[in-house]
Every structure is written in C-alpha cells, then in structure tokens.
Chain A
Amino acid sequence: MKKGLFAAFALLAVVAMAIPASAHFMMVYTPEIALDKGKDMDFRMVFTHPAEAGHTMNMGGVKEFYAMFQRGDSKAKKIDLMPYVKEIKWTNPESSNTAYSAMLPKKLVRSMGDYTFVFVPGYYYEEEEGLYMQQIAKLIANVGGIPGNWAEPVGLPCEIVPLIKPYGMWTGNVFKGQILSQGKPVPGAEVEVEYMSHMPNLSKNGMPAKSSVNYPHDCMVTQTIFADAQGYVTFGIPKAGWWGFAALGVGPMTEYKGKEMSQDAVLWVKAVDMK
C-alpha cells in the first residue's frame, strides 16, 4: 500500500513537472485590428498564458491605457482611454483572476489612420521566482486603410517596433521588429513568441479549454528567438490568428521593492489566410 502511494506521489510530481512552462503574456485583445470603418471597439486586458489558456495572474492594476493616433504624415495625437477601463474577472479553465475591459465608443476611433494602443499594467509579483514583472504591451490597429505611425516608436521605457504592418499580415509573412529600451536597440534581446491557441470569449470573459493547436513538445508552446546585434528579430508566421511577442527584461527598471524586476515589452500581431 505504502509503495503504491509513493508511486502515485512520484507520478504526480512527474506530471506536475511536465506541465508546460509556457510564457507570461500581457494580452491586449480586441477582435479586429484592420477595420474598414471606425466602430465601437471592445478590449480585454488579461495577464495570462495565451497558448494554453493557462494560469491567469493579477497584473497589479492599470497604470496607463491610451492610443497614439496618426493619419498619414500628420502629427500623432494621444487619446487617453483610462476613463473606459473597467475591472472584470477573467476565467480560464483552471484559473481565474482580476483583469480589465474597455469599450471604446466609435467617436474615439472613427477617424481613418493608425491607432497604437498602449497598455501599462502595474507590477506582478511572481512568488516562485521571487521577482516582479511588468509587461508593457502594444496593439496597433488601422481604420480605413490610411497608414500612420505603425512603424514609429511610442517612446516607452521598452517596446517592440514593427517593421511590417502588424495589422496587415498574411499567414506566411515574416514578422520583423526592433527591440528598444529607452529608445535604443537591445542587441541579443530574448524574445518569447506564443500563438493565441484559445481564442478569448468576450461575453464569458474567459478562454475555452479546447486548443486550436496540438503541441508535440513543450518547446513548441513558447518559441524563443534572439535579437541580432542591432536589436532586430524576425519570425515567420505559420498560422492565421494572433501572435504575441514578449521581449524579456529589456526595460530600464530592474528592481522593485528590493526585489529583482523584469520589465518586458509585448507586441501583438494578427495574420490572416490568403484566400
């Protein structure tokens, strides 16, 4: 009996170890980022593991949420979106936590041009690793087809600047971006890439248990790429849908409340199939 119990525990331990070590991702999600005409835009901001509808974490509140709007070569304009941020509960199959929603009225996003949405969460304390994390996330949308500032740095402590229109990608396109810290390229930056395999359900505020991808191995869940000597990363997009890029520990903040701190830059892009 004892032996059996021991075996069971050993098995559990092995199973626990085998739970894929997927990446933390600050998700900034709205269903469509290439719009013909401006309309109400419904957002969800969730700190989770999007490839596996995994553990959802408390992001430590919201510091900033805004959009930098630009049409053509006109001057970029900042639109504060904090008045629209609401606290919600986000529920994944095995985990639930505080997250945020924002319903942006059409009048804010009706003009043709690029909207670079910037979401700055608070600090999340990762107990297991004894460190704080903050993922500053960008999502770039376009209304009406007139491009604007999609390839311009916002001027964040750290950010990923795309070199390919992040809202206009075909499946199979190569994503290219530059990792910046305080405006300067980060040579050799480590960047994690994940696919949103569990599409967010906005009415239920959660992700479904069913994945759209079968991962043959842990290493396929979170892919890792490194920036070159000029801070550029490239990544071929193999499947239509949402892809998240997180450049780890590239921000200038390295300590918070006497603990180690990882200030990361996140960018989301969407690819569609050529039909």
Chain B
Amino acid sequence: MKKLMILTLTLAALAFAATAFAHSPLCDCFDNGDGTVTCEGGFSDGSSATGVKMYVKDGAGKVLQEGAMNADSEYNFKKPEGSYSVFFDAGEGHQVTVNGSDIVE
C-alpha cells in the first residue's frame, strides 16, 4: 500500500514536471540544402537555449554526433545518411525530439 502511495506521488510529480507550461522547451530544425542542418532552440518564456546539449541519433537511437546550442541558441551539424532524429536536452522535463523526416528546407 505504501509502495502504491509512493508510486502515485512519483507519477503526480512527473505529471507536474511535464506540464510546466510557463517554461516549455522548443526546438525546430531546417535542412540547409547543402548537406547540413540547423537547429534553433529556446523556451516559451523567451529564455535562451545557449549551452543546451544536442544529440543527433540514428534510426536505432545510437548517438552519431553531439554538441551544444551556441550563443545564438543554434546548433549546426552534418546531415546523417538514412533516418535520424535530433534530441534537445535541457534536463528532465525539458527535452524535445525532432524527427529527421520533419526536417525540411
């Protein structure tokens, strides 16, 4: 019973973290048409994404490239062959995944 209580509380806490609307992470990427991709990020309250960790993963989830958002909250990388995704990681509850198939010019 106690365990159930803890589980419920944990779930409630997680739910809370997921609905922190005042500060949602946002990330969008564009195919530059020259074999590179540019991602731009930020938060819904206008705060900068500078320093946020960025991962480029293949279809199986293996990390191919990693880096961080620059001073302009941008991250450039070489477009991988095949299917891929981009992971914007600003910590728990502040993560965004962008599918490579949604990244167009």
Contact = CB atoms under 8 A, between A and B. Distances in A.
A37 B43 contact: no
A73 B48 CA distance: 6
A145 B24 contact: yes
Interface string A109-132: 011110000000000000000000
Contact of A74 (B24, B44, B45, B48): B48
A71 B28 contact: no
Interface in B1-57: 24, 26, 28, 30, 40, 42-49
Contacts of A110: 30
B73 A74 contact: yes
B72 A146 contact: no
Given A71-B73, A74-B72, A146 B30 contact: no
Interface string A34-66: 000100000000000000000000000000000
B40 A111 contact: yes
A147 B44 contact: yes
Interface in A91-107: 107
A121 to B, nearest CB: 31
Contacts of A37: 28
A110 B40 CA distance: 10
A151 to B, nearest CB: 10
B47 A73 contact: yes
Given A74-B72, A144-B26, A112 B40 contact: yes
Contacts of A111: 28, 40
A71 B24 CA distance: 14
A145 B40 CA distance: 12
B40 A73 contact: no
A72 B43 contact: yes
Contacts of A177: none
A107 B47 CA distance: 24
Interface string B65-105: 00000001100000000000000000000000000000001
Nearest to B24: A145
A148 interface: yes
A72 B27 CA distance: 13
A226 B34 CA distance: 54
B26 to A, nearest CB: 5
Interface of B: 24, 26, 28, 30, 40, 42-49, 72-73, 105
6 smallest beta-carbon distances between A and B, as pairs: A146-B42, A72-B46, A147-B46, A72-B42, A72-B48, A145-B44
9 contacts: A37-B28, A72-B43, A72-B73, A74-B72, A112-B42, A113-B42, A144-B28, A147-B45, A147-B46
